[in-house]
Amino acid sequence: MVSHPDLLVGNDTGDDAAVYRLDDNTAIIVTVDFFTPITDDPYEFGLVAAANSLSDVYAMGGKPLVALNVVGFPAELAVDMLGDVLKGGYDKAMEANCLIVGGHTVDDAEPKYGLSVVGLIEPGKEVSNANAQPGDILVLTKPIGTGIITTGVKQGITPDAILEKAVDTMAELNRGAAEAMMRVGVNSCTDITGFGFMGHLRGMVRGSGTSARIRVSDVPVLPGVWDLLEKGTVPGGTFRNMSSVSEDMDWDDEVTDQERLLMCDAQTSGGLLISVPKPKLEQLLSELDASGVGTKAIVGNITAENPGRIRVSA
């Protein structure tokens, strides 16, 4: 664990990014993320990868400032494909008012792309995943199921319309949700990515010393996901997630095996999971609506009993 008087958020809480204070008015948020293609379209891959990387800054309540490309690319592939990936990343960063100012590329057997991002926040206003309070309401700002859908693409069974909806969701910036929660003032936040909904929620309750209750029926799900689950389409990362969180989960008997897998599905560029004091809930929902955030689902609440555990009902 790294410790320093100006390191406001480090690696001890499992937060989405680190926060370092420059002076009384300015702190920087630093993060990096990259992954292999989740769609056959290079431009779409660039869009989604950039949105995913920028999301860590938004989860902390900050504004992205500058970014560097992080690229692995096979030398034998057409360079035009790489250009399309970088164009997607550039366009998404520009949408976020974030400048891509350079980067680094290596020859790699499998394509990889993402960003190292620096953002800004006023010291003391950063939103950690480690400050959820008992009585808080949990609000999720994107539907889940992207891991299942993109695995179905690899198997050749995901319909084009289902993939298109998932790509649109993954490429959507979490900027509006972040701006809304900062206007309201919330206790805690994390974005839902590779560890799945349950993995990231577990990080929140562990960091906060709290517990949580979740209702599966209240968690929004992308179109086509249940049909793919019926066909056994589940990414390997989802099974690993489920195994990882198993010791901290209390599943009600009514929760099916498929529902348990979905709650642990490894996500790409998911939404924000916001822990908001109950008196501020209606204000948050109103601000999310004003920011154009289409999904604002109340999925559960933070509790005090059995710290670190998550109770899941159907």
Per-residue pLDDT of 70-118, as tens digits, reads 999 999 998 999 999 999 999 999 999 999 999 999 999 999 999 999 9
Confidence of residue 200 (pLDDT cuts 50, 70, 90): very high
What proportion of the chain, given as a percentage, has pLDDT over 90?
A: 97
- Burial (CB count <10 Å: 0-12, 13-18, 19+), residue 232: exposed
Inside any domain, residue 1: no
Per-residue pLDDT of 5-58, as tens digits, reads 999 999 888 898 999 999 999 999 999 999 999 999 999 999 999 999 999 999
* pLDDT above 90: residue 177: yes
pLDDT score of 1? 78
Per-residue pLDDT, averaged over 162-171, amounts to: 98
Pairing of strands 297-303, 137-140: antiparallel
Per-residue pLDDT of 262-307, as tens digits, reads 999 999 999 999 999 999 999 999 999 999 999 999 999 999 999 9
Of 91, 121, 151, the one marking the end of a domain is 121
Inside any domain, residue 247: yes
Inside any domain, residue 284: yes
Inside any domain, residue 148: yes
The C-alpha atoms of residue 220 and residue 170 are separated, in whole angstroms, by: 14
pLDDT score of 28? 98
Whether 172 and 270 map to the same domain: the answer is yes
The C-alpha atoms of residue 174 and residue 55 are separated, in whole angstroms, by: 6
pLDDT score of 50? 98
State how many domains the chain has: 2
Q: CATH number of the domain that 74 lies in?
A: 3.30.1330.10
- The pTM score is 0.96
Whether 201 and 291 map to the same domain: the answer is yes
Inside any domain, residue 29: yes
Inside any domain, residue 127: no
Whether the Cβ atoms of residue 311 and residue 206 lie closer than 8 Å to each other: no
Inside any domain, residue 48: yes
Per-residue pLDDT of 223-259, as tens digits, reads 999 999 999 999 999 999 999 999 999 999 999 999 9
How many helical (H) and strand (E) elements, i.e. helices and strands, does the chain have? 10, 13
E-only strand ranges, the chain: 7-9, 18-21, 27-35, 63-73, 99-107, 112-121, 137-140, 188-191, 211-215, 249-251, 272-276, 297-303, 310-313
Task: Provide the domain limits for residue 147.
Answer: 137-313
* pLDDT above 90: residue 146: yes
Per-residue pLDDT, averaged over 119-142, amounts to: 98
Whether 221 and 307 map to the same domain: the answer is yes
Inside any domain, residue 166: yes
Of 96, 121, 146, the one marking the end of a domain is 121
